[in-house]
Copies of this chain bind each other. A is one copy, B any other.
């Protein structure tokens, strides 16, 4: 199974607060995420700055497109994003224009699965050409304060991978959780606070990479 990528989610209220931990952790991060909050706070200037600083890293603008899709996608791609996020509640028409904008530039779209999606929709998204999805742990459990990963979470990710999706895992993965994903084909692990708020972000990020290598083997990382 190819080794998953490590994404650092920069969900801060301003750019400087994002730059400090990112710069420290940069040697151990594969994908830089300009988080939704950061995008709203600083606009596409945040994406431009991250592109300028890390020209060789994958860069996600987590703009969570719901409508007015092609213009927001254009803004994010112009600013240098490789990937933009779109919510699963977007209409097929919006998905199509965003995907087409991405394809015309050799970029990509990540579809964030929001509660209420169905497997019939998932099949339709694949047919439309969506290749990447963002999966969370069950929100029902989260709402009850239960932050553990459940067999149903892994089952869902496996089934998404079986449909041909590259799966990003978002939402509070801890380094000790990684062995639980051993049999699950994951494209990207997203980590935020556990690296960003660590006393030593570089060492925290390196810890995640080492855990990923232990679980998935030190094979080549996914493209």
Residues of A at the B interface (CB closer than 8 Å) are: 13, 36-37, 39-46, 63-64, 66-68, 71-72, 75-76, 87, 89, 91, 114-115
User: Which residue from B45, B67, B71 sits with its C-beta under 8 Å from A43?
Assistant: B45
B residues less than 8 Å from A13 (CB atoms) = 75
B residues less than 8 Å from A115 (CB atoms) = 91
User: Which residue from B63, B87, B89 sits with its C-beta under 8 Å from A40?
Assistant: B63
Copies in the complex: 2
**Complex Cα–Cα for A43 and B35 (A):** 12
**Complex Cα–Cα for A13 and B76 (A):** 11
B residues less than 8 Å from A40 (CB atoms) = 39-40, 43-44, 63, 72, 75-76
Name A112's closest neighbour in chain B (CB-CB): B67
A37-B75 CB under 8 A given contacts A42-B45, A43-B46: yes
**Complex Cα–Cα for A180 and B190 (A):** 52
**Complex Cα–Cα for A63 and B13 (A):** 15
